[in-house]
Chains A and B, each alone.
Chain A
């Protein structure tokens, strides 16, 4: 391996040398770094609860090995919520009552942040919703999540 065995999480440098090659980023974040805002759902890439940003693009941390993100900048919900755009998305979810059990919410916030980063706030709503299909919610029926996404688009415009 030629890359530096470090990555940054929410701006802090993390040494990867004690991390086994087979360890998932999800487990590194949750159990080594205590960043439990990244939720563990299916561990098979189907539910989106573990979504994080790697160099600002959304990534399923359950399907990503920690060593794959060497040299990258990882942002979790803890870091994103402390940023201006992240805080606005979080507030939009709260204002629209878009969490019930809340287990999927951080994943939705991360996915939305990545979409807003990638496409800006103005893009086509249907396409936007299409791209949120990778995140599952069992409580809300998505009605309030839709409203929250729309509100977040307006809030970051």
Chain B
């Protein structure tokens, strides 16, 4: 298959694409945040005098908010500045703007803060000293004859797994440039995954109606969940309001780590009852460090907990998830939030169970894996689902690799499932012009290609138009049709459906105007112009469009998609909010690792991935997503870990001490798709942004288990941790 060059590829390689960090505005000031010097405590005073004495500096603190805020904030759980109590180290407590970057940093340092410190809750570990964490979220579900199956089991296996904090590490820091326009519009250009989501956040945080806010997304230098909601935007806007000038606020890379919004530690206790070679019951207790966040606490537990069971049929289940508040920064979404961590536990547990039974771990999985039409742990029906087939392929690959396996090498298989966010809404407008077709929509391209390539591919399939004649046009929240943003791997699956509807409507209109059946319509290139071709006969688009249409941007159609989420058996829920899944995707991965028996270091020798992504609309883009997800997952598996001191101060807020994978350590990666299990997206496509990362830590852990006989129980599997693990095995 030949690879047609992505339309943004040359400009990106030439450095000609403007990201959020690149935007400037005439007369702009440079913003900087003042960060809390302690982890937990009371603010006694914030003195901005010295900062304000620096020429050209505007400084704002909690006391200025009543004067600056245009309305009354409606979201008390997300204060712009804490009014009294600091909840985490480096929480923004004031902000400054100055004519130069250097002056802004100096002004931020000149702010004098007096605090009274309180003891901080820093760990959810039962053995931790210090105050007990507060329970801020609780979910509980149960079904089946749990006591019965545990009483009559052949054996019960109980294990505890720990996972640690991982950061998104998009290379571009958060950056926004804000101004208050003369007509009273609060305007912000920002590097975001979700302009409409940021607008909603800002409306709640600033207390003004959404139409008074305009959010324009820029090109995004990576998101991975970290740019899904507002972070720098409210500060930039308030500084603009206070100074009367446009203000640029970009985080330093240290602040990227300190301000968090990433995955935090969790403890996963799994207990399985086995009878006759199958799992007959499972109990799960999952404790999640929710940091200082309140929003999203239910999501973390109520959505994530299903991944501790995995995509398997278990006839009796009890799930309990507890979100605990600590004085870490707020928890946020990190590519497939918490699913790789839960899959690490669940899939390690599956391998351990298979080991106890003396059966092949892939066959053991296939004995339990959901097939299309099965029910989930909450009784939701699983749609078309090809994981069993992925597992079969993965098992075959594992057997082949095992034929010649050197000493201290191991082979692991891991699986995972995900639910594409096709329930979330999106809208798109198409404009057919004499020379090209434009897709106008409100989602910025964050890198995956799902907007610039995926949406174009949908139109290409419906109308037959060559992709170089398709333009994907991003617009701000004032002019674009609504879209929910880039999250949940939803772009192709959800916004793609809106585009597909608009394309089909356009095809129907062209069919009507040319008196041809819809299926016969194709848009072809005729010199510089487009033509409608029906059974080999072409008519220029220019002749088919009315004059007023040509003058007003083209023949236009509109598509919307507001999907319904699935439903589950509410009687199984005893407490808390659980979330239904929408479109089921699955993947099985295989890795060969070389384990250094002394140093504990893991070298990944080779890797293969088998994905059910429904209909693959664009193979190269899909393959690239899988490759990137796997390598990000290798970081989660092996090296990435946020480390806090007992005082609650992040110890490694930089790329030297928080290590992500580099080029030389990436193994050869094979990517395969198992097709035939159609999803809800265009032509049966399913989302693919998040699924590739999910099975990775589990796959590596199972390969380590294979190499040394016992599986690791904590992420990341650093050399130090594994060396200790190996030493324990030997003694």
Contacts and interface: CB of A to CB of B under 8 A. Distances in A.
A109 B169 CA distance: 21
Contact of B171 (A44, A91, A104, A141): A104
A99 B253 contact: no
B663 A132 contact: yes
Contacts of B16: 37
A97 B623 CA distance: 11
Interface residues of A, number: 56
A102 B221 contact: yes
A141 B655 contact: no
A81 interface: yes
Contacts, number: 175
Interface in A81-104: 81, 89-91, 93-104
Interface in B166-222: 168-173, 219-222
B628 A140 contact: yes
Given A99-B9, A140-B624, A141-B631, A36 B15 contact: yes
A121 to B, nearest CB: 18
A3 interface: no
Given A39-B172, A100-B628, A101-B221, A106 B655 contact: no
B620 A97 contact: yes
Contacts of B170: 101, 103, 138
B17 A136 contact: no
**Secondary structure call for the B interface:** loop
B279 interface: no
A73 interface: no
**Secondary structure call for the A interface:** loop
Interface stretch (A11-19, A64-72, A142-150): A142-150
A100 B624 contact: yes
Interface in A9-66: 20, 22, 27, 30-31, 36-44, 46-47, 49
Contacts of A36: 15, 18, 22
A143 B224 contact: no
Interface string B222-244: 11100000000000000000000
A105 interface: yes
B8 interface: yes
Given A90-B13, A106-B14, A95 B3 contact: yes
B14 A135 contact: no
Contact of A97 (B3, B17, B101, B656): B3
B605 interface: no
A39 B19 contact: yes
A115 B20 CA distance: 30
Interface stretch (B442-450, B464-472, B514-522): B442-450
Contact of B13 (A31, A39, A102): A102
Contact of B628 (A31, A42, A132, A141): A141
B629 to A, nearest CB: 7
Contacts of A95: 3, 5
B227 to A, nearest CB: 11
Query: Which residue, of A81, A101, A137, A138, has the highest number of chain B Cβ atoms within 10 A?
Result: A101
Given A44-B655, A47-B655, A95-B3, A141 B14 contact: no
Contacts of A31: 24
A138 B660 CA distance: 8
Interface in B14-50: 14-19, 21-22, 24
A94 B14 CA distance: 10
A99 B8 contact: yes
Contact of B172 (A77, A78, A90, A101): A101
Nearest to A44: B654
A124 interface: no
A81 B171 contact: no
A121 B170 CA distance: 31
A137 B102 CA distance: 28
A28 to B, nearest CB: 12
B664 A137 contact: no
Nearest to A104: B171
Contacts of A93: 9, 13
Nearest to B21: A40
Nearest to B447: A101
A137 B624 contact: no
A109 B12 CA distance: 11
Nearest to A78: B15
A100 B448 CA distance: 6
Nearest to A100: B447
A155 interface: no
A104 B8 CA distance: 14
Nearest to B666: A142
B664 A133 contact: yes
Nearest to B628: A141
Contact of A145 (B21, B632, B660, B663): B663
A129 interface: yes
9 contacts: A39-B172, A41-B171, A44-B655, A78-B15, A102-B447, A106-B13, A133-B662, A141-B629, A144-B624
4 smallest beta-carbon distances between A and B, as pairs: A37-B15, A102-B12, A101-B447, A141-B631
Interface of B: 3, 5-6, 8-10, 12-19, 21-22, 24, 101-102, 168-173, 219-224, 250, 252-254, 446-449, 620-621, 624, 627-632, 654-656, 660-664, 666, 669
Interface of A: 20, 22, 27, 30-31, 36-44, 46-47, 49, 76-78, 81, 89-91, 93-106, 109, 126, 129-130, 132-133, 135-146
